[in-house]
Amino acid sequence: MLYAGFMSSAPPPFPKPPESLGPPHLLEVGPAPDEPCLRADAARNRARLLEAAARLIAEHGVEGVTMEAVAAAAQVGKGTVFRRFGDRTGLLTALLDHSAKQLQADFLGGPPPLGPGAPPLERLRAFGVAVLYRSAEQLDLQLAAQPHPTRRFSHPAALALRTHVTVLLRKLVPTADCDLLAQTLMASLDPALIHHLIRQCGMPMERLETGWIDLVARVTGTEPPR
């Protein structure tokens, strides 16, 4: 397949950011930043509630997860669920913790090409593919657990992903506005967009994967793999 060039002429260089952005760290995406460390019994209760919620999703889908249903499945009072997670969105967000932390662990310290050891271009390609398939597997949960629009882009999980993309872009296109460019790339991996493309437009995952590889090539001015 032939691909058009990224642009006909190179733009003037963007100003370098005032501060260097170092490698991303594994961020906690579960309890709120101001939540104190959980006692052992509270941690066990939290795990028990999440296990109950996961069973409800497996049996009834995301629609079957309510605070009342989780409380009943875990055999605790409804107030316990509200105290631990705040609301249904908080509960659903907590359910995404494990896979979000696993994805972060994979791109920060896992095997290449997603993890360290591969060239930045290969890591960026692998990153997008990994996010695509993770989102497709958890699409209903991800849509239901999306933070409020005012917190959507500042959520620790979103920040960790965007920081990783920014770091890779600064190695590939150092003269670009990589902070803004990372935002643009991450927008193409938004769960709502993936839902639209897969379920409403009927696009296969292979097409989305190819589209991501092509987008990376155009953004970085490189040739896609053949």
CATH number at residue 151: 1.10.357
Counting Cα atoms < 13 Å in the Cβ hemisphere of 145 gives 25
Sort 179 into a burial class: Cβ within 10 Å, 0-12 / 13-18 / 19+.
middle
Q: Is residue 151 part of a domain?
A: yes
- The answer as to whether 14 is a domain residue is no
Domain boundary among 62, 89, 116: 89
- Using the 3D structure, point to which of 49, 71, 89 is the last residue of a domain: 89
Same domain, 197 and 111: yes
89-145: per-residue pLDDT in tens?
A: 888 888 887 678 889 999 999 999 999 999 999 999 999 999 999 999 888 888 888
What is the domain range of residue 150? 97-220
pLDDT, one tens digit per residue, over 47-57 is 888 888 888 88
- Please enumerate in sequence order all residues whose Cβ is within 8 A of that of 91, keeping only pairs 6 or more positions apart, or say none: 49, 53, 65, 67, 70, 81, 85
**Start-to-end C-alpha separation, the chain:** 8
191-206: pLDDT as tens digits: 999 999 999 999 999 9
Indicate whether 85 and 111 sit together in one domain.
no
pLDDT digits (tens, 9 = 90+) for 212-225: 999 999 999 999 88
Shared domain for 107 and 77, answered yes or no, is: no
Q: Is residue 26 part of a domain?
A: no
Domain count, the chain: 2
- What average pLDDT does the structure give for the chain? 83
pTM above 0.85, yes or no: no
In terms of domains, do 153 and 213 share one? yes
